[in-house]
Structure 1
Amino acid sequence: MSGKLGSAALVADTNTTVYTVPADTVATLNIALVNRGADPAKVRVAITDAANPGDADWIEYGAEIPAAGGVLERTALVAGAGESIIIRSDVGNVSARVHGFEEAE
């Protein structure tokens, strides 16, 4: 598969699994977050194989996205089979998209 791997409109203060790498697969991916709201957003992004990210799983933590169309992107990330992209925002006006490609291991 290539292109959009997952997307979500985030709910405030809730961990949201946007994408999970299928079994026997590795994914090279990019994450794009956009703030649709009138106030800045603080976001967290984790890559983890656990249901709840541990301290070492966060690759962004408290990153601020400016209001009214501000964007945060992370590119060229690699995740293995069973790993998930989990994103959290302190406001509910953030859209998340994970795009890239999957390859069989």
Structure 2
Amino acid sequence: MEKILGQVRPAADTDTTLYTVPAGNKAQGDIFVITTDGGGTVSIALVPSGELLSDKHWIAYSEPASELNGISRVCLGSGDSVVVHASTDTISVTLCGLEMS
């Protein structure tokens, strides 16, 4: 059954973890981006377990939040994380999907 795996409204210019897959599990889902004032940019990274966030992990970088409605079919392994960075504090990001053991 699909569910909300994570939701964040990050502080401006701060890398924020949206979700980390629990040990022994994997997850698949869709990322949704909402901006309450129509402005700002958003970046989204997929960080493999055991790695620190770096440039190679960004799957969307400084995209206008009003244009990046979402990213479909994100697949994550045990310990992998989704990290979000927003230019303003008016952007919310949600990950909905399945968590499997």
Q: Same fold (TM over 0.5)?
A: yes
Q: Supply the distance in 2 between the matched residues of 1:76 and 1:101 (Cα, whole angstroms).
A: 11
Q: 2:72 aligns with which of 54, 75, 79?
A: 75
Q: Supply the distance in 1 between the matched residues of 2:22 and 2:29 (Cα, whole angstroms).
A: 13
Show the counterpart of 1:61.
Answer: 61
Q: Supply the distance in 2 between the matched residues of 1:89 and 1:4 (Cα, whole angstroms).
A: 20
Asked if the contact 2:65–2:91 (Cα under 8 Å) also holds between the matched residues in 1, the reply is no
Indicate the structure with greater strand content.
Answer: 1
Structure 1: which 4+ aligned runs deviate by more than 2 Å?
49-52
Measure how far apart 1:2 and its partner are: 3.2
| SS, match of residue 30 in structure 2 | strand
Q: Measured at CA, do residues 51 and 13 of structure 1 come closer, stay the same or move farther in structure 2, by a change above 3 Å?
A: farther
Q: Supply the distance in 2 between the matched residues of 1:50 and 1:15 (Cα, whole angstroms).
A: 17
CA distances 1:78-102 after superposition (whole Å, capped 9, x unpaired): 0110011100000110011111001
TM-score, normalised to structure 1, is 0.86
Gaps of 5+ in 1: none
Q: Supply the distance in 2 between the matched residues of 1:58 and 1:71 (Cα, whole angstroms).
A: 14
Show the counterpart of 2:81.
Answer: 84
CA RMSD of aligned residues (A): 1.7
Q: Supply the distance in 2 between the matched residues of 1:64 and 1:56 (Cα, whole angstroms).
A: 20
Measure how far apart 1:71 and its partner are: 5.2
TM-score, normalised to structure 2, is 0.90
Q: Supply the distance in 1 between the matched residues of 2:50 and 2:33 (Cα, whole angstroms).
A: 22
Q: Supply the distance in 1 between the matched residues of 2:2 and 2:65 (Cα, whole angstroms).
A: 27
Indicate yes or no: 2:18 matched with 1:11.
Answer: no
Q: Supply the distance in 1 between the matched residues of 2:52 and 2:42 (Cα, whole angstroms).
A: 16
Gaps of 5+ in 2: none
| SS, match of residue 71 in structure 2 | strand
